[in-house]
Amino acid sequence: MIPLDLIMPHLCLPLEPEDIEVLEKADAGDAEAQNELALIFLSNDKPKSAVYWLELAAKQNFADSMSLLSRCYMDGNGVSHDKNVGIMWLAKAAAFGHVIAQAQMQAFERWP
């Protein structure tokens, strides 16, 4: 692993001390931290970087990341616009108990 001090000057956004802990946990494979890091990237207008971390967390069945990834695909934010992939991630989030995703899927079912 590369020491963080060496890469800090090359990061695409400034990190607060608490963000560094999140980065380290995300790098170690913690899905919740990966999701949190993705939110940091999204809030700093870095959607491609956010999608990278969302995909890692979603592949670990982290429902919040699945829901966010769904939105990215549906909006074409950080990835190519693809409603089918977006709906797939939304359905997976719903299957893993994400309440908002469940409501959104129910709304799709009621659509004519």
Q: What does the pLDDT read at residue 110?
A: 83
pTM of the predicted model as reported, rounded to 2 decimal places: 0.87
At the top level of CATH, which class does the domain 16-110 belong to? mainly alpha
pLDDT recorded at residue 16: 80
- Three-state DSSP state, 59: coil
Q: pLDDT tens across 52-81, in order?
A: 999 999 999 999 999 999 999 999 999 999
User: Distance between CA atoms of 25 and 31, rounded to whole angstroms?
Assistant: 9
Cβ atoms < 10 Å from Cβ of 25: 16
CA distance 95 to 107: 15
Cα 52 → chain centroid = 7
| pLDDT on residue 4 | 60
